Structure 1
Amino acid sequence: MWPIWGLSTSWGTVLWVEVGAWTYHYSDQGDYTWEQARNYCQTFFTDLVAIQNQQEIEYLNRSLPYHKHYYWIGIRKLGGTWTWVGTRKALTKEAENWALGEPNNRRSNQDCVEIYIQRPQQAGKWNDEPCSRKKKALCYQASCQPSLCSQRGECLETIGSYRCQCYPGFQGPECTDAITCPVLRAPEQGELNCSHLHGNFTFGSTCAFSCQAGFVLMGPESRECTFPGSPLKCFSVPAAITCPVLRAPVQGELNCSHLHGNFTFGSTCAFSCQAGFVLMGQESRESTGTWTGDTPHCKGKSCGLTRLGGPCCSRVLSPAPWAVTLSPGLSVYPLGCQFIPWLASPHLPIPLPSVLSS
């Protein structure tokens, strides 16, 4: 049996039973209606008792004295629902402890609940009663205080102690520790900017992703560390901005270098022409999100303008799948152009055969 203590008040002698971290209280003089009993409890203690579990019921039944009218507890029917008045939470099926055949709502006015203490049959069970009947007030003094659980959890009374039921995102006996998430890194060619509410990469941290010039973000722009089951992960991968594929000009060549991938941001391409042709336009283009400049093309050299010693193209022909060899000392050139060699002296050009026919 738990020790019983006494204190004299204007309500009579207040008796209490100490149970670990909190105490149960009742008066040895007078009985009260349910409303009076609650007023008494709230005046001197916390409230009418709220039953937490079956173990608590067993403690009460062993520790409190028998009283023929039994004891009021903190359950009342509100809006047709049995409710714990201290928390305004509905009584769940799992927490019900009704006596056999109860609640029966006899005469349709039984909206308050008593507990059978030291009753020969069904001790510790509940019964619905009219709220106007008078019984002992069974009160409790809470051990939970606002400062407990770091204001990051709900303080729950337990036999012999209290415990903190932490809010999502927090853990530990007093809910002091914010749950951590994996450390994030900036994506390649990108940047990471984070703000931390409770510590680096913990619950409540948010991180924003961005990309360097010429890259676009593939995925969400930001991530938040929430709670277990939803870890913070980076699915944001920058993809280089692509530009249209360039082609070598007719009678020309294309030579490209790629920094991040074929024809993407940072790629550069150089253009050149085959012998007998000159490049018309820029020699190179660069990808900066779009190609710089315009596409160049190759044009046959004009014989009237060609310097001595170099071949010229007197007439541009259609491309053909064979080659022609000019006079000794001259290179092999693709068809598509009627070539005329320049001699070492400034005489008029001598036409060569234009095309070999098959």
Structure 2
Amino acid sequence: MNKIPLTTSDSVERSLKKTTTGGVVKLRAISVHIGVFWLILVSVEGWTYHSDNTIMTWNETREWCQKHYTDIVVIHNENVTQFLKTLLENKTSSPYFWIGLKKINGNWTWVANGQIVNYENWADKEPNNALTDEKCVEMYSGVNHGKWNDDGCSKKKYPVCHKAQCLNNSCSNNELCKEQVNNFTCVCKPGFSGARCETVVSCEQLSAPPHGWMKCSGLYGNHSLNSNCKFSCAGGYKLSGTAELKCNSSGAWNEPPPSCAAVECFPLLLFGGGMMNCTEGLDSFRSTCRVQCPPGRLLLGFTEFTCRADGMWESSFPLICANLVHFQIALLASVVISVFCGCFCCRKNKKAARLRTQQEMLNPAFEAEHTPLDGPLCSA
């Protein structure tokens, strides 16, 4: 529907049929006098485009478009340009038409959807930022009809708006509604297919790994679009791979299925030529290892070790199969360390005892308020 107002108070209705190569497009032109401003409404099956003969700044234009329609116009391809050139009034001089392109953070951006411009239709030698603040864009009419020019946002021009035709119920829940110049169409969302997008993509059936568990859940089934499967392992086993998988819209899991591997303790260190016998492998979970030294050597350390579920041995290491000389050196070293520690502890306790005696002499109530000192008593 194309409404072109007259300057008289009478209403005149005219009908026009226009034949094109692709078929017949019916346009009805109705002229109505509306007093203050003229309104041009161009209806197509998808977007509708709207203008007004009242000039306004770029910011006022966007506010006006958002109030009455959807937003200031987005020209994303040549098809839209040709459509607007055909349907908007051909003006021979400025002011021309504001469009929804603006320089934001140094990038020419369509404000209606936040996308940086990829289709461009600048006039020759534009944009030139001639006034240093030309951050908004107008569309020429006349000689350079449809071409773009950067200009100051405070200047007043005619608005061009678009109105979206996709409604909440235009397509099914499994479809996306896409606006086009001459129609709108419903396309399947990623992960859906079929005539009505009723078929949901499925991923390969998974199973719990040996010595492990799996728990799956999803809106469309345990192994369908966006379903999640979580994996865990029994005691003594650790998960190798990703603990949670997701079924993608392509029909594949985002990662390969994980497995449960037996826990292994880090190797024991045995010096001095000893032998180690283990029940279930040298480093395997629950494996118990016994150490045996060659004749004439003594074991410094524990004789038996067990690999725990957390990957740690129950006893300390490293181990040494020492000869008699090494054993005597180790024994002497342990005696020296014990004596040193004993003397250090005794000195500390003696000092604390003297301090306690002095405080008891000064304050008889001190003994009742304090507990006895812990630790061994040493002779003077």
TM range (shorter): 0.5 to 0.7
CA distance in 2, matches of 1:4, 1:131: 35
Which residue number corresponds to residue 61 of structure 1?
Answer: 85
One-letter amino acid of the counterpart of residue 218, structure 1 = S
1:14 paired residue number: 39
Give the AA of the match of 1:18: S
1:42 match: 66
Query: Is residue 191–residue 250 contact of structure 2 (8 Å, CA) maintained in 1?
Result: no
- The residue type equivalent to 1:12 in the other structure is F
* Partner Cα separation in structure 1 for residue 167 and residue 124 of structure 2: 37
Measure the CA separation in 2 of the matches of 1:107 and 1:242.
Answer: 73
Kindly report which structure 2 residues correspond to 1:1-358, keeping only aligned pairs within 5 A, or say none.
3=27, 12-27=37-52, 29-68=53-92, 69=94, 70-91=96-117, 94-117=118-141, 119-120=142-143, 122-145=144-167, 156-162=178-184, 170-171=191-192, 179-212=201-234, 215-228=237-250, 231-239=253-261
Bigger drift between 172-181 and 183-192 goes to 172-181
2:354 maps to: none
AA of the residue aligned to 2:216 = C
Q: Structure 2 CA distance, aligned partners of 1:38 and 1:10?
A: 23
Q: 1:113 to 1:266 in 2, by over 3 A?
A: closer
Name the TM-score, length of structure 1 as normaliser. Answer: 0.56
AA partner of residue 88 (structure 2)? L
Work out the CA distance in 2 between the residues paired with 1:145 and 1:178: 24
How far is the alpha carbon of 1:18 from its aligned partner? 1.5
The CA distance in 2 between the partners of 1:188 and 1:161, in whole Å, is: 55
Separation in 2, partners of 1:176, 1:211: 37
Task: Say whether the 8 Å CA contact 1:4–1:15 is kept in structure 2.
Answer: no
- Tell me if structure 1 keeps the 8 A contact 2:123–2:149: yes
Relative to structure 1, is the Cα distance of residues 179 and 87 closer, same or farther in structure 2, using a 3 angstrom cutoff?
Answer: same
Q: For residue 40 of structure 1, what is the amino acid of its counterpart?
A: W
Higher helix proportion (structure 1 or 2): 2
What are the Cα deviations for residues 179-218 of structure 1, in whole angstroms up to 9, with x where unaligned? 5322211223433211214433234322122345665543
* Contact 1:77–1:83 (CA under 8 A) maintained in structure 2: yes
Give the share of equivalent positions with the same residue, in percent.
35
Q: How far does residue 26 in structure 1 lie from its aligned partner after superposition?
A: 1.3
Q: Aligned equivalents of 1:124 and 1:186: distance in 2?
A: 62
From the superposition, tell whether residues 153 and 112 of structure 1 become closer, same or farther in structure 2 (CA, over 3 Å). Answer: farther
Q: Measure the CA separation in 2 of the matches of 1:15 and 1:102.
A: 28
Secondary structure of the residue that 2:64 maps to in structure 1? helix
Aligned residue for 1:51, secondary structure, equals coil
TM-score by structure 2 length? 0.53
Question: In 1, distance between residues paired with 2:34 and 2:199?
Answer: 44
Measure, in 2, the Cα distance between the counterparts of 1:241 and 1:75.
61
Give the letter for the 2:163 counterpart. Answer: Q
Post-superposition CA distance 1:249-303 (Å, at most 9, x none): xxxxxxx9x9xx9x98999xxxxxxxxxxxxxxxxxxx998xxxxxxxxxxxxxx
Give a deviation string over 1:5-30, Cα, whole Å, max 9, x none: 56776752321111221211112x43
Higher Rg: 1
**Structure 2 stretches of 5 or more lacking a match?**
1-17, 19-24, 268-278, 288-306, 310-380
The structure richer in strand per residue is 1
Q: Which residue in the other structure is 2:270 paired with?
A: none
> Aligned pairs, how many?
251
Q: Provide closer, same or farther for how the CA distance between residues 239 and 44 of structure 1 changes in structure 2, counting only shifts above 3 A.
A: closer
Q: For residue 107 of structure 1, give the secondary structure of its aligned residue in structure 2.
A: coil
| Paired AA for residue 37 in structure 1 | T
Shift of 1:146: 5.0
Opposite residue 39 of structure 2, the aligned amino acid is V
Q: Superposition RMSD on alpha carbons, in Å? A: 4.2
- Tell me the CA shift for residue 74 of structure 1: 0.9
| Cα offset, 1:49, TM superposition | 0.7
The question of whether the paired residues in 2 share the 8 Å contact of 1:164 and 1:175 is answered with no
